[in-house]
């Protein structure tokens, strides 16, 4: 433990043995009770906080360094302040579990229902009668619990889809999500979440893909494409977003993150390789196409499918549908 970079902090250089190990394990964060057990009085801690040598994050919890504290130190302080069995949850846990790229402006912790934790600026405390499993170096609920905690705050269906897709990429398991949902009949957006979890389990990886499945294929009665097909083309492994087996048609859905300026050089090579290797044509659509003109997308896909031998007829999604 003493080899940690934190060991060079002035406050920690004065510690040794068990006290030093605990301070390092807690990211140079300690409670007043711990400090007193190490021979440092509460008056000393308060004075050092006033002088800027230490930072008081929450009442009775200090970061033993000058300057701004890191998010990790703030999260550690929140756990120490909330007490035994507390765990990071909601957006904070989603960040720790790599479900979300940013932690948000507040620290979220969940505690057993019997415990009362006073409100503090920058801290959101959730109470539960059934404390979920939590663990890790920075104690947090698992990916599935983090997602379920965030569901109630999702403002749109696209946000909810994106959240579940990010969670699965971060390690959340769709089957476990479905099982946890069964135990929460009061869960907000329950029916929608169940549909989204099922779709993600079948290969949906983004809100754009969800919209394509729902608003292009589903709303117009088109065949269901195979999602996320991995195959080797011209000596390279590729993954196609959607493949209509037997009809010689592929669909690539280009999201802003993966394709910020439209089709990339690799995309062009992949389209050409698919055409030369299997004779498949590739149709590419971006967010505006699927979200704003799904009927036009369905019409184009229909033309391509019919050229490949499909004999079906698209179903109008409404009185002004242009798919047919």
- CATH code for the domain of 237: 3.40.960.10
pLDDT of residue 259: 45
Which has more confidence, 231 or 105? Answer: 105
Tokens of 164: 């579940």
Same domain, 53 and 85: no
**14: pLDDT confidence band, cut at 50, 70 and 90?**
confident
Strands 236-244 and 226-233: antiparallel
Residue 261 has pLDDT above 50, yes or no: no
**318 in a domain, yes or no?**
no
Q: What is the rounded CA–CA span in Å between residue 90 and residue 127?
A: 12
Q: What is the rounded CA–CA span in Å between residue 197 and residue 204?
A: 9
- What ranges make up the beta strands (E) of 94-225? 107-112, 123-128, 134-135, 140-141
Span 199-221, mean pLDDT?
Answer: 91
**112 in a domain, yes or no?**
yes
Residue 68 has pLDDT above 90, yes or no: no
pLDDT of residue 8: 73
**119: pLDDT confidence band, cut at 50, 70 and 90?**
confident
Q: What is the rounded CA–CA span in Å between residue 258 and residue 122?
A: 34
Same domain, 121 and 226: no
Residue 151 has pLDDT above 50, yes or no: yes
Span 74-100, mean pLDDT?
Answer: 94
pLDDT of residue 274: 65
The domain in which residue 9 lies consists of: 5-68
The dihedral of CA 94, 3, 79, 68: what is its sign? Answer: negative
Which of 201, 231, 246 is the C-terminal boundary of a domain?
201
The dihedral of CA 17, 18, 19, 21: what is its sign? Answer: positive
Q: Which 8-state DSSP code applies to residue 6?
A: G
Same domain, 182 and 136: yes
Same domain, 184 and 212: no
Closest CA to 59 of 122, 113, 128, 139: 122
Please tell me whether residue 240 adopts helix, strand or coil conformation. strand
pLDDT of residue 184: 80
Measured in degrees and rounded to the nearest 5, phi and psi for residue 170 equal -80, -5
pTM: 0.73
Residue 117 has pLDDT above 70, yes or no: yes
Q: What is the rounded CA–CA span in Å between residue 275 and residue 234?
A: 11
Same domain, 188 and 128: yes
**313 in a domain, yes or no?**
no
**305: pLDDT confidence band, cut at 50, 70 and 90?**
very high
**314 in a domain, yes or no?**
no
Of the ranges 37-46, 204-213, 299-308, which is most confident? 299-308
**317 in a domain, yes or no?**
no
The residue with tokens 């949906």 is 204
pLDDT of residue 200: 86
pLDDT of residue 13: 75
Q: Which 8-state DSSP code applies to residue 106?
A: S
Please tell me whether residue 201 adopts helix, strand or coil conformation. helix
Mean pLDDT of the chain, nearest integer: 87
pLDDT of residue 289: 92
Please tell me whether residue 61 adopts helix, strand or coil conformation. strand
Span 97-105, mean pLDDT?
Answer: 90
**145 in a domain, yes or no?**
yes
Q: What is the rounded CA–CA span in Å between residue 112 and residue 92?
A: 17
**273: pLDDT confidence band, cut at 50, 70 and 90?**
low
Closest CA to 240 of 249, 231, 229: 229
**R_g of the chain, CA atoms, integer Å:** 26
Which has more confidence, 4 or 228? Answer: 228
Please tell me whether residue 43 adopts helix, strand or coil conformation. helix
pLDDT of residue 167: 86
H-run or E-run covering 44: helix 42-50
What is the number of structural domains in the chain? 3
Residue 105 has pLDDT above 90, yes or no: yes
Which of 170, 201, 232 is the C-terminal boundary of a domain?
201
Same domain, 89 and 63: no
**236: pLDDT confidence band, cut at 50, 70 and 90?**
confident
> Percent of the chain, pLDDT > 70?
90
């Amino acid at each position: 433990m003493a080899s940690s970079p934190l060991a060079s902090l002035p406050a920690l250089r004065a510690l040794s043995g068990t006290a030093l190990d605990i301070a390092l394990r807690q990211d140079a964060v300690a409670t007043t009770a711990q400090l007193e057990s190490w021979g440092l009085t509460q008056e000393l801690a308060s004075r050092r906080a006033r002088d800027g040598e230490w930072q008081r994050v929450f009442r009775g919890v200090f970061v033993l360094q000058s300057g701004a504290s890191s998010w990790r130190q703030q999260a550690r302080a929140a756990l120490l302040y909330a007490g035994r069995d507390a765990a990071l949850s909601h957006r904070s846990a989603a960040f720790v579990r790599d479900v979300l790229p940013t932690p948000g402006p507040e620290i979220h912790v969940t505690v057993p229902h019997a415990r009362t934790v006073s409100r503090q600026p920058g801290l959101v405390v959730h109470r539960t009668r059934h404390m979920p499993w939590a663990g890790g170096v920075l104690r947090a609920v698992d990916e599935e619990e983090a997602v379920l905690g965030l569901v109630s705050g999702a403002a749109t269906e696209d946000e909810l889809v994106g959240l579940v897709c990010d969670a699965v990429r971060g390690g959340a398991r769709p089957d476990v999500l479905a099982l946890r949902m069964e135990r929460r009949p009061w869960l907000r957006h329950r029916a929608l979440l169940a549909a989204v979890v099922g779709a993600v389990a079948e290969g949906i990886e983004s809100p754009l893909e969800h919209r394509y499945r729902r608003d292009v294929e589903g709303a117009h009665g088109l065949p269901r494409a195979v999602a996320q097909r991995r195959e080797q083309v011209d000596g390279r492994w590729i993954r196609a977003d959607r493949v209509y087996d037997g009809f010689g048609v592929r669909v690539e859905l280009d999201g802003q993150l993966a394709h910020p300026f439209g089709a990339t050089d690799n995309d062009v090579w992949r389209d050409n390789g698919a055409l030369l290797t299997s004779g498949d044509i590739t149709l590419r659509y971006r967010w505006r196409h699927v979200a704003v003109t799904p009927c036009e997308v369905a019409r184009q896909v229909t033309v391509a499918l019919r050229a490949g031998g499909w004999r079906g007829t698209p179903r109008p999604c409404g009185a002004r549908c242009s798919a047919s």
